[in-house]
Structure 1
Amino acid sequence: MFCKSASQLLKELAYNDNDQLTPFNNDIFEQVFRKCDEHHLHLQSLMRKIQDDGLDIQTTRNSDHFGAVIHHLSLIRNKRCLMAYMYNRAEIIRSLRWKIGTIPPEEIQSKLNYSEEEYFKNHCAALEDMIPPNDPSILVRVRCDIGDVLLGDQVASITD
């Protein structure tokens, strides 16, 4: 079945608590990544076959076209599942910074892969380097008068 491994990654996220970090599932992640490569190769070969037969890619509706569509959609779905998996893990890692500080305990660090460890370090460094503004007010310069503008629950007139 196409995209079965990719859906397993997302089911893993769904079964866990939102703030609970599970070990990075490198085996399934790599399987999905390899499936993406396979779908890409199949897609390329089908597109090449259509072109070699002298058919128009835009208007041809034969078995090769529909096979290419299936591989293309499977490739997109797998990529989206991989991105959703990584994005949700990144969200959890960002929230951990505020809960545990800059140094994660060993039980959390063992659940991260190398790129997630680097992401956590870079995220912590970025937060430490932030300097709050001295003045809380903002000066806005207007180039031309556009009339009245609705800002939330009030109306403001923007002029030169």
Structure 2
Amino acid sequence: MFCEKAMEMIRELHRMSDGQLPAFNEDGLRQVLQEMEALYEQNQADVNEAKSFGRSDLIPSIKLRHCCLLRNQRCITAYLYDRLLRIRALRWEYGSVLPANVRFHMSAEEVQWFGQYKKSLASFMRSLGEGEGLDITQDIKPPKSLYIQVRCLKDHGEFEIEDGTVILLKKNSQHFLPRWKCEQLIRQGILEHVVS
């Protein structure tokens, strides 16, 4: 049946939750493109025959195949666009380096697009904040408080906060620090957020 493979690719995306990226279905995409090529060639042959011999009985089948071509085109566009939206969301979730298991599910073109997107985002963030730059990927959801209680998991040494105060980060020490100064250290595994 026409357009079945294209619809299957769309269903495959909808089965995955929003934060997940399924493996790029290169085989399915190739099959849809081959179907589109076959439909186009059949239409070209029928259009030429209809023009040459005045066969108006071919027009309904030409229209049907043309509608199938358009539907396949819309499905492929929706499939690729939805994947790009998911990849863009992964940049905000994971940062500029994607985990290997996520990268494994991407095509070479998607990896290239991700690289260009992260460069564009980094360039934009550097242009903000009066020349100092501003990391807009942090605090996507507004924090409940500006300061948080953290515990040091490893010896890190001295850590200076914005007001000039120097804090010694020793293993198992607890501190009440500005959230935005700690988030990078939390991601690196040096600090952990203590939820009371």
Structure 1 position 132 matched with structure 2 position 128: yes
Give 1:133 shift: 7.9
Aligned pairs for 1:28-39 (under 5 A) are 28-39=28-39
Residue 93 (structure 2) aligns with: 99
Q: Which residue of 2 aligns with 1:151?
A: none
The 1-side partners of 2:48 and 2:123 are apart by 51
For residues 17-28 of structure 1, what are the structure 2 equivalents within 5 Å?
A: 17-28=17-28
- Deviation string 1:136-155 (CA, Å, 9 cap, x unpaired) is xxxxxxxxxxxxxxxxxxxx
CA distance in 1, matches of 2:96, 2:45: 48
2:156 maps to none
Structure having greater relative contact order (Cα 8 Å, sep ≥ 6): 1
Larger strand fraction of residues? 2
Superposed CA deviations along residues 19-49 of structure 1, whole A, max 9, x for unmatched, are 2101011111110011111111111111111
Corresponding residue SS for 1:119:
helix
Helix, strand or coil at the partner of 2:50: helix
Counterpart mapping for 1:1-160 below 5 A: 1-53=1-53, 55=54, 62-130=56-124, 131-132=127-128
In the TM superposition, what is the alpha-carbon distance from 1:102 to its structure 2 partner? 1.0
Runs of 5+ unmatched residues, structure 2: 131-196
Aligned to 1:69, what secondary structure does the other structure show? Answer: helix
**Relative to 1, partners in 2 of residues 1:133 and 1:43: Cα closer, same or farther, differing over 3 Å?**
farther
Q: How far did 1:63 drift?
A: 2.7
The alignment yields a C-alpha RMSD, in angstroms, of: 1.4
3-state SS in 2 of match to 1:11? helix
Q: Which has the larger radius of gyration?
A: 2
The offset of 1:81, in angstroms, is 0.4
Instruction: Go from structure 1 to structure 2 and tell me whether the alpha carbon gap of 1:126 and 1:47 turns closer, same or farther (over 3 Å shift).
Output: same
Deviating more after overlay: 13-22 vs 105-114: 13-22
TM-score normalised to structure 1 length: 0.76
Is 81-90 or 41-50 further displaced after alignment? Answer: 41-50
- State the secondary structure of the residue aligned to 1:24: coil
**Structure 1 residue ranges without an equivalent (≥5):** 135-160
